Amino acid sequence: MATWNSRGLRGSTLEELINRTNEQYREKGLALIQKIPTPITPVKMDKTSRHITLAYFEQKSTVDYIGAVQGIPVCFDAKECCVKTFPLANIHPHQVAFMDEFEKQKGIAFFLIYFSADNVFYYLTLRKLKEFWKRMEDGGRKSFRREELDEEFYLSGKNGFLVPYLEGIQKDLQLRD
């Protein structure tokens, strides 16, 4: 299995790191965040193992995680990128629309991006994503580069949390005041 310092960290392991962090936050009473399963309809099953071998998605998923942090509604999506340029095609318009509506209800929506080549996590605010999104819609770049990101939103990995996204939420909230 890939380890935290491995370059082989991929989607399901990223999800597991976030899930473990969510457990730590819950145990310490800091947050209650839940993974949202993507609804599927099974088409074929292996009768001996009872595993689904073929299925299709019932609907477009919105975000990966949703919950509350100290009474504040929070939702986020986790993405992985193995290069220094993040393609906006990895984010879908219905996700941006849902997150926009979520923030209009006084929630906080963001993306957790894992840049696997450099083994770093980044907290991308919805505000910053929408700047890149507008640029794309206006005919500009269909991606953003790491050097375009605000340094203060890189997550440090301190205090024993695997993916310390509460640091990002705290900075995000400070900038909203």
Q: Is 32 strand, coil or helix?
A: strand
Q: How far, in Å, CA of 42 to CA of 52, rounded?
A: 6
Cβ-based neighbours of 82, under 8 Å, separated by 6 or more = 115, 116, 117
Q: Binding site annotation covers 170?
A: no
95 annotated as ligand-binding: yes
46 is in an annotated binding site: no
Q: Which residues contact 126 (CB under 8 A, 6 or more apart)?
A: 96, 99, 100, 103, 109, 110, 111
**3 annotated as belonging to a binding site for a ligand:** no
Contact 106, 73 (CB under 8 A): yes
Rounded distance between C-alpha atoms, residue 177 and residue 164, angstroms? 22
d(CA 106, CA 134): 22
- Annotated binding residues for Mg(2+), written as ranges, equal 62, 64, 77, 95
- Annotated binding residues, written as ranges, equal 62, 64, 77, 95
